[in-house]
Structure 1
Amino acid sequence: MKTDEGHAPLRTERLTLHPLTPAEAERIVNGTPGAGDRWGRGYPSDGDVAGASGYLRVRADHGDPGVFGAYEIRRREDGEAVGGIGFHGPPDDERFVTVGYGLTEAVRGQGYAREALSELIRVAGEAGAAGVKGDADLGNLASQRVMEAVGMLFVREDEQLRHYRLVFPAGGA
């Protein structure tokens, strides 16, 4: 089933990455679930609100980003939203996309972030991106391990963040 924006959900073994519609993103920003929303405990987090706000800004500035939008991470077993993942917008001038993700505390440590990020990277490669960038707070070792587990390489560190990058082979991801 496609969303009202025409983008099909992405499916992994245990998750559905549901592409946000503008109306869903607005509900996340406002913290007011709709009748069909199944928000897990702790969802949306501040990171989910920031991601949904960013998605709405990208839409306002550039139109529908297509597959390079924002997704709600839902467990397939019960359809409950347990986090968010997405792109910060369409590919940049070098054809790289920046990713961000987060999970509710209740489901961390179960491999969901790695599973969701792997799928997002696959989609980016198939959609023509040259690679993926991401970052994590210096103290966020779990997020750093997730990026390393999906093949992203540490490239630099500043006062607040560790930066990672994955370059796709010439033929795609």
Structure 2
Amino acid sequence: MGDLVTARLVLHPMTGDEAGWLVAGEPPHGVRWAPGYPTDGDVVAAERLLRTLADTGPFGSYEIRLREDGAAVGGAGFHGPADEDGRVTIGYGLVPSARGRGYACEALRALLVCARVHGVTCVRGDADHENIASHHVMTAAGMRSVEEDERVTYFEIAWTGGHGHGRPGGRPAGP
């Protein structure tokens, strides 16, 4: 699986070696980490990857890098391959210095397009009730709030019909 490239970001699929470096807190040669990277969430995703070491295809973890200078500023990805009903769960996070610039929404949109192109019928995500910024990210990317419990609000986007056509939310592909 290759990089997912957006206007300002590169979502780089993490390999087992890269996950090991991330868990060890040591960037590989030639890779620059922004201050505060990796976050605890990035380490958890890397540890999950190392536990499974399965080929998840496009449904693994991605390092979010800035296109302008290659700095790793966060992580995003899927919590595993699609289930038997074609559903996946996503997660994402940025270092504090990269927040508030629309990067999380841009990364999430790239994941949604990737999921749709690979036949996923539903993408789910969640955020603590207090994490209003994450609620805004998922809503701006086209997801909607579908349920909540005492701690978390759950969001999703679902598609029907043919796979691999158009963009999330039924919008046509294009600029």
Match of 2:142 among 151, 170, 173: 151
8 Å CA contact retained: 1:55, 1:89: no
- Counterpart in the other structure of 1:58: 52
- Counterpart in the other structure of 1:41: 35
- Counterpart in the other structure of 1:165: 156
- Counterpart in the other structure of 2:96: 105
TM-score of the aligned structures, taking structure 2 as reference length: 0.90
For the residues of structure 1 that align with 2:14 and 2:74, how far apart are their CA atoms? 12
For the residues of structure 2 that align with 1:47 and 1:17, how far apart are their CA atoms? 16
CA RMSD of aligned residues (A): 1.0
Larger mean CA deviation between 150-159 and 116-125 belongs to: 150-159
- Counterpart in the other structure of 1:81: 72
AA in 2 matched with 1:99: I
Measured against aligned partners, the alpha-carbon deviations of 1:85-119 in whole angstroms (never above 9, x if no partner) come to: 00000001211010000000001000000000000
Unaligned runs of 5+ in 2: 169-175
- Counterpart in the other structure of 2:171: none
For the residues of structure 1 that align with 2:71 and 2:23, how far apart are their CA atoms? 18
Larger mean CA deviation between 152-161 and 66-75 belongs to: 152-161
AA in 2 matched with 1:162: T
TM-score of the aligned structures, taking structure 1 as reference length: 0.91
- Counterpart in the other structure of 2:173: none
Identity of aligned residues (%): 51
Query: Does 2:18 match 1:24?
Result: yes
